Amino acid sequence: MTLKKIVLLSVLLFEALAPSRSAYADPATTAAVTAGTTVLSTAIGALNTAISNLLTEIDDDIAAIGSKESGSSVMTGNTQREMATQVQQQSEMDRTLQETELPIDPCATSGSNYAMGAIHNVNTTSSSYRPGGNAPPPSNPTFAKVLVSPTPSTPSSRKATATIHEASYCTASEVALGYPNCSTSSMPDGDANADSLYSGAGMPNKDVDLTFTPQEIEAARAYERVSLDPEPPQNLTKAEAGTEMGALYIAMQKAYLANVSSAQRGMNDMIAMHAPFPGSAQLINDINQSSDSAQKYYGANASAVAKSTNTMSMAELEDFEAGRRWRNPYWQIEMGAVADPTKLAREQLFTTAFIADINYQNFLKSQRVEILLGQILTALERQNLPALDAQLQRAQMAKVR
């Protein structure tokens, strides 16, 4: 029972219990009682109205509180559902990333993992071919002596060249002609053919060896000597070097060697590019354990030296990185079957990084070419020195007169 009903019931009881007009014979008394009853009824009515209004406000407040609680419950439910949805979405994203993320691929990252060591090996090996370097000596004793001994006279240098050729590089024609000390060689003209520098010395029709054997490296160095400077200016004796003319000769000798060394640097770099570098065995192992396409490409295209010695040169590493994609049908099939854009994008990034490094290497080589062109231009200009010297003598003679 509500408070409003209780108040109304009290009013009704009050009216019922109030004495009737017939109970009082005195009209004055009756009038006074009637007036009092009226006042009391009015007060009770006003109280009832106030209480009713108060109860209405209370009911409204209670309804508002219920509505707020209901709205809060709805909001809380919505928030919880949104959080649950976000958690589920994040979980699905994480799972998708784990499924599409590429693991460390030794094949894809082989260049960056091993290229730095290979480049350092090229630099140090190239420098070791200079006079006084610590490169392994050639197996030919005459050649080994030529590389470390003082430069002899021109006839002695020519004799050494002939001895080196006869020991290792005689051609079939020279053997047939009966050249003395000549025997059949597996590297005919290895000291006189440019293939020794680019594809490795060997018989005609031989395939390219991007990684050289020690014998091929020796032949390449012999070719460098014959093609660049087979008869270098000989060294003076101590007595000769102590004279004024000897000092002038040494100055001219060094000027000659300065230009020759620029050409030698390019050839030394080329030979060092084909020499195996430390750590290449692990690289080959990583390649064979990586993707199926890389393993098949290596098996079909690696040089015989790389397969037999389990070593690789910088030249072969660059060729592998360049060819295992575009020249590799297995890679094209593998990438054609990949639908995930993340894998495709990462493969493109690896390719772009390799191209950027090749462009940088070409930039370095272009700088060296510019230096060589400058030296060639200077050498050509020096051909005018005799005319300048003659004019200088005329000018000096005219001054004396």
Residue 94's pLDDT is: 61
Confidence tier at 398 by pLDDT (50, 70, 90)? confident
Mean pLDDT: which of 53-67, 104-118, 290-304 is highest? 290-304
| Domain chopping of the chain, boundaries | 3-98, 111-337, 338-401
Q: Is residue 28's pLDDT more than 80?
A: no
Question: Helix 214-228 to helix 244-273 angle, to the nearest 10 degrees?
Answer: 140
Dump pLDDT digits (tens) for 171-193: 999 999 999 999 999 999 999 99
Residue 6's pLDDT is: 53
Dump pLDDT digits (tens) for 333-355: 887 787 778 878 888 888 888 88
Question: Helix 106-128 to helix 341-382 angle, to the nearest 10 degrees?
Answer: 20
Q: What is the DSSP letter of 189?
A: T
Residue 18's pLDDT is: 52
Report how far residue 162's alpha carbon sits from residue 49's, in angstroms, rounded to the nearest whole number.
136
Q: What one-letter code names the amino acid at 156?
A: S
Contact 208, 200 (CB under 8 A): yes
For residue 198 the two structure tokens come to 């680019």
Residue 330's pLDDT is: 81
Residue 103's pLDDT is: 47
Cα 357 to the center of its chain, rounded Å: 8
Of 195 and 370, more confident: 195
For residue 84 the two structure tokens come to 């649950």
Question: Helix 244-273 to helix 106-128 angle, to the nearest 10 degrees?
Answer: 160
Of 103 and 393, more confident: 393
Q: Which residues pair with 313 in a beta bridge?
A: 276
Report how far residue 185's alpha carbon sits from residue 390's, in angstroms, rounded to the nearest whole number.
52
**Which has the closest alpha carbon to 323: 111, 103, 122, 105?**
111
Of 11 and 118, more confident: 118
**Which has the closest alpha carbon to 111: 251, 380, 397, 319?**
319
Q: Is residue 95's pLDDT more than 80?
A: no
Q: What is the CA radius of gyration of the chain?
A: 52
Report how far residue 180's alpha carbon sits from residue 33's, in angstroms, rounded to the nearest whole number.
166
Write out the DSSP string of 146-178.
HHHSPP--HHHHHHHHHHHHHHH---HHHHHTT
Element (H, E) at 71: helix 27-100
Dump pLDDT digits (tens) for 137-161: 999 999 999 999 999 999 999 999 9
Residue 4's pLDDT is: 53
Q: What is the mean pLDDT of residues 56-83?
A: 69
Q: What is the mean pLDDT of residues 231-242?
A: 92
Report helix, strand or coil for 276: strand
Residue 374's pLDDT is: 84
Q: Is residue 23's pLDDT more than 50?
A: no
Contact 110, 287 (CB under 8 A): yes
CB neighbour class for 204 (10 Å; exposed up to 12, middle 13-18, buried from 19):
exposed
Indicate left, alpha or beta for 49 from its phi (over 0: left) and psi (-120 to 50: alpha).
Answer: alpha
Q: Is residue 24's pLDDT more than 50?
A: no
Q: Which of 141-155, 230-244, 269-283, 373-387 has the lowest mean pLDDT?
A: 373-387
Q: Is residue 104's pLDDT more than 60?
A: no
Average pLDDT of the chain is: 82
User: What is the distance between the terminal CA atoms of the chain, rounded to a whole angstrom?
Assistant: 150
**Which has the closest alpha carbon to 165: 206, 222, 217?**
222
* Cβ neighbours around 248 below 10 Å, total: 10
For residue 229 the two structure tokens come to 């400077």
**Which has the closest alpha carbon to 185: 166, 205, 199, 206?**
166
Q: Is residue 204's pLDDT more than 90?
A: yes
Dump pLDDT digits (tens) for 343-392: 788 888 888 888 888 898 888 888 888 888 887 887 787 787 777 777 77
Backbone angles phi, psi at 256, to 5 degrees: -65, -50
- What is the value of pTM for the model shown? 0.68
Q: Show Cβ contacts of residue 190 under 8 Å, excluding neighbours closer than 6 positions.
A: 168, 169, 196, 201, 202, 219, 222, 223
Residue 296's pLDDT is: 87
